[in-house]
Structure 1
């Protein structure tokens, strides 16, 4: 009974101190605000009408909580405001609707109402005319702050702890603070990117390249510099360079050579003289590229026809010569373990599974995409044992991934259209399931983000960031206001 009495007393004190407006006074003060945001005024604008309806619900909940308990969870509400100096026909033609974001964070009702009116450019004369009310507690200016031991003994929830725990970074709050920075950076690099597109188009058409790709952590200004240097070199030796690169893919990266996919890779740290030297020796790599499929087939046969897959990794390009050495090393190891393979794998057909020769050393693992990642230095017996133990799990993951990949293409395209994005990509470590979940949420709440994200480049990752060229990174499991 004592605990109940203390609980009621504490909230009665908060109520008499914080609430300086009655329900009727609050409604009267906000009447001009309702006249410019009420959903009934937006009949010809269904999207804006829905936004205002949801925002009014959130606003009423916030105000009600302040009136009843003297506290409310901080939030933000978006409203579309209808200008009063245009007729209905003029407004329908121009769609001259501006939006306002109102931050609700104060625990004082009068201050909150004043903030709403000021944000919308409405007068606050009525609020100033309302006299301050005397409180029952006289000199008491704030709620009682009990020692933590009080809350531990009584079991009453500490409101201060609850306030700190409820402050969660949402996508909308982060975007509101960073979208201007993204736009500034995008504008700053627009001329650079236009130059890149122009030079790439010129090189591709002149040489007959299949593609030109930038694969480095350095940003677009470095790419443009490399392209200009290569273009000058091409103009000096058009026939020699054209004969080598016709039909090939050219990649600017952090190393030089011919990749296991047959791409011509030029190091951004080299000078054009070194580039030219590599290009003149490209034909010598053709024999290596021709041997790779044969070696992969032999490796597959040693493991009951498992598929050998070459996966592309961002900012990591494996060269053809290196890959050949890795395949040869793993082949030699597995040839000495065929008795173990027959015992553990029997005659079971494993052509539905996938294996990637990942590198010289590293963990032997089953990836999140269902592929066996095998370092070349691992003993063949451990490779066989791992496949035997996890083949059923790998098959299950691959089946799920196949369905998710098909679904991913659909939701990504829908998200691009719903938000009018310039591009939508993802990091390598984002699974198809995560990408699908992220894009579905974005499409579902497109009405909230479309105005901010139109013509924006978005990348799904594990963190929030604005890149140097204006691209926006967001975590795949971003939190929306509706999730709180």
Structure 2
């Protein structure tokens, strides 16, 4: 570390040198004790080598999604470093499948930790990357005023991992962006139209032949990849007719994992081969036996907490039954032990039926979701859960009421906007909450006279970024009306 020798300078400079030395020492202490931008860059470097958009030039949709998710991640980390409390958000990243060359897998990432350190550690853990570097770093204190230059480790306008100063960029006007890009979007939409028609034919055929109640797929799945999944399921049922009876009357979803969700839906991973689907489908009777136990276990949790509603999280990927059963069992046991020793607070009402509880994995946080649901990890000590409910009961009720009101308004405005703009499709990413969607739709409705000629017949997704997808669908940010630097 640089040190200025005070005794070798004139008096007026000696005092200044001593002051500089003190500042250098303070800065040195901060650098040693806190999680600096350089440390974050080092810790997340293996993660970036998996998901950086530059690695997915042959997969435009994956490239756009990874780029947008990285922007949201950077903003989230920035807020945590400045000791703010950003809302939890769900992100998706595409990674290359190590087992199947040329195939991609999508990994879901939940940003719900309360510190940057915990968030970085969680990212590495979710992507099966080593966490030794983060584990060995000293615990950082909070420095709300310390600004971090995030562009040192990810700048979407720069070359891959080039260290360069941040530049201020003004968001592009939506109308100008549409004028510039709708021609290409319409061209791509026309090229992919036969694929979409084939998808609808395959979907109708499967639903009819298997008597499926629903056939859905994850957001962001490309049309070509989706058609391949539908063709794969069709071929599987043709070659193994015995599984038709097992699938009859069920709901099927193409997602990130293969299994059965806790509400009985069959989930087929879009990155796995048909043989893995077959193995799971043949085990459906065993999974059904587990599903039948879920209502009683949910009821046990509800009774233990005065009738609280035990439900699932809004905007969450499918939860497989094997995992969910384990979470419920752990919490039921802990609550039973607690009720045998302790009483609920006297301030509690006789019934908690207005509240909603979501039981999650042991590693999750205890928190309120943006929709007012209480998210509780199965490992949460009962006394801590009781205290949290006591402190957040009124706020949770208000958030639930607000969410239901906004959700109802969103549905009405959604139909109106789609009709006024003449859109073939109007949908949103899971990371766009109802309040965001409501604000976006309100501005689109007000500007419908300008945008309708450009958007007529378009397929639009409300996201956090601008993009023209390979199949001609376009993505626009929910806050497109805000001019930001």
Report the TM-score when normalising by structure 2: 0.62
Indicate which of 209, 227, 233 corresponds to 1:206.
Answer: 209
**1:384 aligned partner:** 386
Offset at residue 218 of structure 1 (A): 4.2
- 1:259 positional shift: 0.8
CA distance in 1, matches of 2:315, 2:445: 28
Distance 2:300 2:271 in 1: 37
5 Å-filtered alignment, 1:217-232, equals 217-232=220-235
The question of whether the paired residues in 1 share the 8 Å contact of 2:310 and 2:356 is answered with yes
SS in 2 for 1:355: strand
Pairing 1:173–2:176 present: yes
Q: How does 1:34-53 map to 2 (within 5 A)?
A: none
Tell me the CA shift for residue 166 of structure 1: 11
SS in 1 for 2:344: helix
Partner residue, 2:286: 284
Large movers: runs of 4+ above 6 Å: none
Give the deviation of 1:442 after TM superposition.
Answer: 0.7
Counterparts of 2:383 and 2:414 in 1: how far apart (Å)?
Answer: 42
RMSD between aligned residues: 2.4
Contact 2:294 2:325 in 1 (8 A): yes
SS of aligned partner of 2:462: strand
CA contact (8 A) 1:211 1:249 kept: yes
Tell me by how many angstroms 1:415 deviates. Answer: 0.3
What's the offset of the Cα at 1:227? 1.5
Residues 299/228 of structure 1: CA separation in 2 closer, same or farther (3 Å cut): same
Q: Which residue of 2 aligns with 1:333?
A: 334
Query: Does the residue aligned with 2:414 lie in a helix, a strand or coil?
Result: helix
Contact 1:169/1:479 (8 A) holds in 2? no
Q: 1:375 to 1:166 in 2, by over 3 A?
A: closer
Asked whether 1:466 is paired with 2:430, we answer: no
Task: Give the aligned partner of residue 399 of structure 1.
Answer: 401
Give the length in aligned residue pairs. 318
The 5 A counterparts of 1:258-297 are 258-297=260-299
What does 1:52-67 align with in structure 2 at a 5 Å threshold?
none
Structure number, greater radius of gyration: 1
Q: Deviations over 1:18-67 (max 9, x none)?
A: xxxxxxxxxxxxxxxxxxxxxxxxxxxxxxxxxxxxxxxxxxxxxxxxxx
CA distance in 2, matches of 1:404, 1:313: 15
1:193 to 189, 192, 196: 196
3-state SS of 2:372 partner: coil
Q: What is the deviation of 1:455?
A: 1.4
Ranked by relative contact order (alpha carbons within 8 Å, sequence separation 6 or more), the top structure is 2
Q: Is 2:439 the counterpart of 1:437? A: yes
Structure 2 unmatched runs, 5+: 1-166
Residue 321 of structure 1 corresponds to which residue in structure 2? 322
Q: Aligned runs of 1:447-466 on 2, under 5 Å?
A: 447-466=449-468
Distance 2:343 2:455 in 1: 54
Q: Distance in 2 between matches of 1:166 and 1:191?
A: 39
Worse overlay, 437-446 or 273-282: 273-282
Give, in angstroms, the shift of residue 470 of structure 1.
2.2
- TM-fit CA distance, 1:340: 4.6
Q: What secondary structure is seen at the aligned counterpart in 1 of 2:225?
A: helix
**Which has the larger share of helix?**
1
Distance 1:441 1:297, change over 3 A: same
What is the deviation of 1:216?
6.5
Shift of 1:292: 0.5
The CA deviation at 1:480 is: 7.2
Give the corresponding residue for 1:79: none
Q: 1:409 aligns with which of 404, 407, 411?
A: 411
- Structure-2 separation of matches of 1:409 and 1:280: 39
Does the 8 A contact of 2:348 with 2:390 survive in 1? no
Structure 1 residues 180, 340: closer, same or farther in 2, change over 3 A? farther
SS in 2 for 1:391: helix
Name the CA distance, whole Å, in 2 between partners of 1:458 and 1:177: 16
Gap regions ≥5 residues in structure 1: 1-163
**Aligned counterpart, 1:299:** 301
Work out the CA distance in 2 between the residues paired with 1:236 and 1:312. 37
| Residues 340, 384 of structure 1: 8 Å contact kept | no
Deviations 1:349-379 (A, max 9, x none): 2100111113231211111111111111221
CA distance in 2 between counterparts of 1:166 and 1:361 reads 38
Partner of 2:363: 361
Once residues 266 and 462 of structure 1 are traced to their aligned partners in structure 2, the CA distance between those partners, rounded to angstroms, is: 27
The corresponding residue for 1:244 is: 246
Q: In structure 2, how many angstroms separate the alpha carbons of the residues matched to 1:243 and 1:167?
A: 57
Deviations 1:187-218 (A, max 9, x none): 23222211111111111111111121222654
